Structure 1
């Protein structure tokens, strides 16, 4: 896995042209149509590259605050502009009056705009020598914002955004020095836009009450967020539900920003509305929390057919088995 992590999450500047020169890009498609196909997913190069990417970023943010110093490259700036465009479209597409409280149909109007513009948005992020990858990479962007038929959002959509970023690494648009900015700038901004989508259009959690997320919708910010706390001198897992800790430190830690959002959206005892997160308070160390969440993510998201049946495979995230 270590070799895969390096390949997927830390494209070297010298490697990029060689890595992309021989690729024939293709529009990604679904390959997991039955439960028995899950073994194909587990053995695929896509799974190895995806998990390698997640773990590489997990290591990169370990013990670091959101407010630490890091490089913000032109590609990262372009990704932030892309996300700002998605948010502007939300502002331009207000909810419509309808009998149903949830799943506002204005979301479909918003999504249709993205569906139409996704390729050009991605092309604006890529350089001239990699823009041929735009149709392939744009599919993951479109998959990352929820489902326009069901008007729902869940960890499969979140995974599509991670896949989108992973593909940008694989074509050399994002590089090893971008790792902190990928999480602290781009992914955090993505979370903010997704929260606005979810609240504006009253999107349903994908699955049964968000069963595959740690809160109703997300999982990855808790993995990377717990890694930020590893080695912290004073804040232990038992502290993250304390209002004082959340209010004082949420600007430094993704995990606490997530808890702040949950507290704003839900009422009642935390142990009742967010039981899985509450259980984390009993874990001895952030290192154990982080390791446990990675295992849980594999078992409860990446091993679940209802989630992975929607994952799409192309040339950059291939369904072919990993090379020995």
Structure 2
């Protein structure tokens, strides 16, 4: 519609009632002609005769005359009916033209207003489209950001799961290692117990043989046992190799700190047979006479083994073999 107005110039609207005005003007012209015709005939008619008397007066200069009255203004003659009709017709035409011009201006203003509204609507649509595009772009960016955050969260979760699995594997390995260590320790303890049991059996067998030997004639010999030191919890003696009188005290001072016993003390006495090198190095230590309490026998034997090397005698040498009688401190 805007393109049509721009291509074709604006035209005034068609006047309504043109034929009626034309007929009205024709009738008025006919009436005007009728009145003109009769007016001319009236002026051309012969006037009738008239009588008039003439009076002559001698002017009297002695008597003053009043001044003549001022002329009365003559009102303009009323316009003839045909002129009024023409004036009315012209006024009507002028009003119609003015109305047409006002209508044309109103139409132009309406068209301009409509065009402005259309342009504003087009701008509003463009702005709305731009806002929608911006909203879509922001939504897409937000969605992409959420996807990245989700990916990072998934990656972190996977990393945490991997760390947990790794930690669980390490814990399992440590548990397996500890279990294996415990199993090895149990095996070692079992083996040690078996070895201790075998050693104990061996010691008991040696003790039994020693008792048999003592019963056969070695029991009661002066060098078989030494002086007992029940008060201190240790005793020493010599057998097979001569020792000085003070050597027993030296052995007592060395062995005594190594005794660790917390059980009963009454009636316990163990004889340990010892073989040493001249420098005091302990070569062998065995139970020669058991007390009847295996625990005390083991404590006495461990005390002797911990006392390596043995003290030297006054000649600078350690006896090669001797026996030590041990009793727990009472």
Give yes or no for TM over 0.5. Answer: no
Q: Normalized against structure 2, the TM-score is what?
A: 0.18
Q: Normalized against structure 1, the TM-score is what?
A: 0.18
Which one has a bigger Cα radius of gyration?
Answer: 2
